[in-house]
Copies of this chain bind each other. A is one copy, B any other.
Amino acid sequence: MLRAGLIGYGYWGPNLARNFAAHPDCELACIADMSEKRRAQAAANHPQARIVADDSIVRDPNLDILIIATPVFTHFELDKAALENGKHVWVEKPMTSTLAQARELAELAAKKGRILMVDHTFLFTGAVQKMKSLIDEGELGDLYYYDSVRINLGLFQHDVNVVWDLAPHDLSIMDYLLGPQAEAISAHGRGHFDTGLEDVAYVSVFYPNNLIAHFHLNWLSPVKIRRTVAGGSKKMLVWDDLNREEQIKIYNKGMEVATKEGLYRVLATPRHGDMYAPVVPATEALRLETAYFIECIQSGTQPHNNGEAGARIVAMLEATDRSLKENGRVIPLR
């Protein structure tokens, strides 16, 4: 039985607590939060857990796992202390505020032989799992583009721009689906209030073989759209996260290219085929992710969303910020 401690019982913490407590191989032994009110809620929901006010549990010798669900700027110190004390670590996204921190943590986890996993929950949804298997099985063929729109009339964050608020979801999904070969980033954005923070941003990510990924991130849209379109040489897909009945549609469509002998030009004509929308399992993503984390610990396997993956996302966020500041300059990712 693994013993887990959770730091941070705010917005997401209760979901983490519920899922770790429900896992048969894990005991939620301890919950830490600075807020008295939240500690009372934690106590009501988890009467068997010890409830504490400070983060000293990162050094508690009785804990095997530390779950870090605190503000981003605290991740580095808490993760580091937990790893140095031999804990396996689950940390919320984004992993850290800087790439240097993320890399240091990934190396520390490797040195200590501990699992460090970044909670990119979306990767464990039925929709993303479905797309991952479609792409890996070659169903789409060679990918041409990956276009993601995540716009909304949103509550502004006070300390981060729209990129750091919304893009960690999309960049981690892209990184999972397309692989870790992203080469460079370019971004444009604008802010419209006296915060100096962008509320609208357009981010392009460049992959080998002319694969281009693009993200529209917007806090000022009157309509809510969460849609990804991806086109490949064989098939194309649309993922509409707000359409619960038909989340993913796969189109047997494409462009037929023929180079006729004696003709100097390429003939490209559209091919229109059937569409199908596979059933997408509705299991709670966090439940699957918790089970995966425990399995990785038990088997000593690296999770795909480990510290390296988390660092790749932070690297892209940093590069996006730099490109935004430098008028869209293309920033290499390595």
Contact = CB atoms under 8 A, between A and B. Distances in A.
B145 A218 contact: yes
A88 interface: no
A237 interface: yes
Contacts of A251: 222-223
Contacts of A195: 265-266, 268
A211 B199 CA distance: 12
A193 B268 contact: yes
Contacts of A292: none
B274 A153 contact: no
B278 A277 contact: no
A147 B237 contact: no
A153 B270 contact: yes
A281 to B, nearest CB: 10
A231 interface: yes
Contacts of A249: 222
B200 A145 contact: yes
Nearest to A144: B192
Nearest to A251: B222
Contact of A257 (B188, B193, B221, B265): B193
Contact of A222 (B204, B214, B231, B269): B231
Q: How many copies does the complex hold?
A: 4
A277 to B, nearest CB: 4
A327 to B, nearest CB: 5
A259 interface: yes
A330 to B, nearest CB: 5
Contacts of A158: 265-266
B145 A255 contact: no
A229 B223 contact: yes
A34 interface: no
Interface string A207-230: 000111010101111111000010
A246 interface: yes
A218 B236 CA distance: 13
Nearest to A143: B192
A179 interface: no
B245 A224 contact: yes
A200 B273 CA distance: 21
Contacts of A73: none
A194 interface: yes
* Residue of A195, A223, A278 ringed by the most chain B CB atoms within 10 A: A223
Contact of A186 (B145, B194, B328): B328
Contacts of A211: 190
A238 B199 CA distance: 18
A278 B270 contact: no
7 contacts: A145-B218, A153-B272, A188-B206, A193-B257, A194-B259, A221-B229, A274-B277
